[in-house]
Structure 1
């Protein structure tokens, strides 16, 4: 039911197809983040209209709200949210470990990591929970998502070599437990490569994770505060040691520049909240550079946000109108901005796929990196 094929390559950049029971995903692909079963400021009809092939859900958040029992009663996550295309759910590990930065009133961490799993207090009520690798797989099998992730340990930047090594070993041990716990055959499991920012640990993690012969492999623990060039260097290094014939997913990385650089390193799949979150704060990505629609300069600018864009927003509305909506705190400002940003991302990836097919990816990447370096205002 699941199959991945690399149909064309241009140096390290790959043009692929990921076959799933719910449709074919053309790669490289950007996956909008639907943390709680919805992409913020969008409805599914609009997601399909802008070209979304697959969305991402979050196990941690869905576990808290609405809860696994509600989703099971609804017939699974696809039925519950009314989205019939593929869904990828992450393990919730990143969200759990991000809680480790927070402290209770008595100074204790909200998270305690053991070999068995992770004890944590949630961000809503402060209740205690315990995630094991087995529980995370059980939750995702109940959700019925198409692509699932194992529990892993994502460390902060910077970190010590000793702790990065410890987290690497724990992630591999948890992966083995996840593989044993997985029962459903209509889902595929990806492994997650860790190792922080140490080249030998990244290589070791990639090689040892690839030994498990999983459907695909994720690169975790990047975009956690490191410089862009370090992120790209680590992604490229990991891709060298992952199987060519398997899909590669760079988790949580998604500025347009990042996508282009990482595709050039050999990555196939991406997710990030950047296009939707930045849309809600008034930042639009355009072929002429990044613009802040809140700026005074657009008060009487009746041109479209991007004259080269064919999205619903750009075909029907001006910068002045979008600025007015934002200044008036109208909900439609978030919707129209999000439509544009997601359309921009999907068209960028359309261009990436075409450029790889034509053998001109490096030229395409260079042209777009020059455009994206411009901040119009």
Structure 2
């Protein structure tokens, strides 16, 4: 594994992660998978996504049950088992509770994970059994993650235990490759985060996985936590993070110098019936993007009447506006023959209309989730490409300020303010 930094801008960096014949441009998004495969996107549809769609995050814990590690190992690893020869596989396990278990798997403690068969405690021996069988392109050591509100003593214990597990994982690594990410923990403690980073950097690792974020830390203190870690890590090694998935959080991580992100955000929107529509460029505001008018967010052109207004509680209700996403279950899309986003080149937008996706959702057809997942991942990959371009042009700070200054708060306005749009929505709902 080789990592090269190509450009810097306001603390953010763009680079290239090279693994044999495969290459990733960073910062980038790792696609969420379940047992190595996307939830709703088939193999042939992966090619319709951007290049980043071939970088996936898997959990080794999922392969401790069905299929068991020995089955995957017999086939030759996860790439061959799932026919992902052109994909970069990053194996990362998240432990969200850190329950203790004495005498399991040859270690005093094990990390607790939620699995399809219930909660399971896993130690380094079992964990590395899965990693050695999967043979991913990159893998992170076993973490002991605890919530931010845990006691200082528990945070110290998490750092010590994670370092111990890192040493054990390295000794149990059958391949002895250079594709190991050392995990940095420490919860909401700046001192423990710093100690974890310094100690992990002393080990023989090729990069770092910043773990334990998104578990209750205060947003205002997150920047200081990231700084305490990044300042104590070597610049020439790649950095991965779990727990920062929403656009504003991603920008915060990129500004700190993080390279790889795994996020449930695109798939979570899909499962709730939402489609991403937020703008991706400071310079180019196409018709499908939202703009402010009279202090409220509206869309341009022929989207003005049918841009995701959600009407509830009858005619006296306000109109629910969110310029970052569309509720595709809303009746306002019932007769809308436009794509989700005009100009979007994803398969869903090129081949299908909002009305069709709305129909699929309301008849509970699984194809709806497939199309929404394709669009949401394509849109989020485009967001990461826009980030890389802003860094290459040394405009990242301007891009971040522009993006975060846009109002993404849910706004409710008087229906009379936009009577025409509101009445169109009522008419569609009644018909």
Q: Establish whether TM, by shorter chain, passes 0.5.
A: yes
Q: Could you say if the C-alpha distance between residues 123 and 134 of structure 1 is closer, same or farther in structure 2, counting changes exceeding 3 Å?
A: closer
1:1-377 equivalences under 5 Å are 2-51=1-50, 52-84=53-85, 85-90=87-92, 92-94=93-95, 97-98=96-97, 100=99, 112=101, 116-118=108-110, 123-125=115-117, 131-186=122-177, 188-286=179-277, 287=279, 288=289, 289-371=324-406, 373=408
Cα deviations across residues 314-351 of structure 1 (Å, max 9, x unaligned)? 22322222111101101110000000010011111111
CA drift of 1:125 comes to 4.0
Mark the runs of 5 or more structure 1 residues left unpaired by the alignment.
Answer: 101-110
Residue 98 of structure 2 contacts residue 146 of structure 2 at CA under 8 Å; is this kept in 1? Answer: no
Residue 104 of structure 1 corresponds to which residue in structure 2? none
The 2-side partners of 1:187 and 1:63 are apart by: 24
The 2-side partners of 1:207 and 1:113 are apart by: 28
Cα deviations across residues 7-47 of structure 1 (Å, max 9, x unaligned)? 11112101111110250111101001113111110123322
The 1-side partners of 2:82 and 2:166 are apart by: 28
Q: Could you say if the C-alpha distance between residues 112 and 372 of structure 1 is closer, same or farther in structure 2, counting changes exceeding 3 Å?
A: farther
State which drifts further: 80-89 or 310-319: 310-319
The 2-side partners of 1:155 and 1:361 are apart by: 32
The 1-side partners of 2:29 and 2:138 are apart by: 15
The 2-side partners of 1:222 and 1:40 are apart by: 24
State which drifts further: 53-62 or 294-303: 294-303
Residue 4 of structure 1 contacts residue 245 of structure 1 at CA under 8 Å; is this kept in 2? Answer: yes
CA drift of 1:213 comes to 3.9
Q: Could you say if the C-alpha distance between residues 376 and 312 of structure 1 is closer, same or farther in structure 2, counting changes exceeding 3 Å?
A: farther
Cα deviations across residues 69-99 of structure 1 (Å, max 9, x unaligned)? 2211222100011111210111x352xx448
Residue 387 of structure 2 contacts residue 396 of structure 2 at CA under 8 Å; is this kept in 1? Answer: yes
The 2-side partners of 1:130 and 1:248 are apart by: 27
SS at match of 1:50: coil
The 1-side partners of 2:60 and 2:74 are apart by: 17
SS at match of 2:24: strand
The 2-side partners of 1:299 and 1:336 are apart by: 17
SS at match of 1:112: coil
CA drift of 1:130 comes to 5.3
Residue 108 of structure 1 corresponds to which residue in structure 2? none
Q: Could you say if the C-alpha distance between residues 283 and 126 of structure 1 is closer, same or farther in structure 2, counting changes exceeding 3 Å?
A: closer
CA drift of 1:120 comes to 5.7
Q: Could you say if the C-alpha distance between residues 336 and 376 of structure 1 is closer, same or farther in structure 2, counting changes exceeding 3 Å?
A: farther
Residue 6 of structure 2 contacts residue 14 of structure 2 at CA under 8 Å; is this kept in 1? Answer: yes
CA drift of 1:371 comes to 4.6
The 1-side partners of 2:138 and 2:89 are apart by: 7
Larger radius of gyration: 2
CA drift of 1:48 comes to 3.0
The 2-side partners of 1:122 and 1:252 are apart by: 16
CA drift of 1:294 comes to 1.3
Residue 146 of structure 1 contacts residue 187 of structure 1 at CA under 8 Å; is this kept in 2? Answer: no
CA drift of 1:226 comes to 3.0
CA drift of 1:376 comes to 8.4
The 1-side partners of 2:172 and 2:134 are apart by: 15
The 2-side partners of 1:125 and 1:271 are apart by: 24
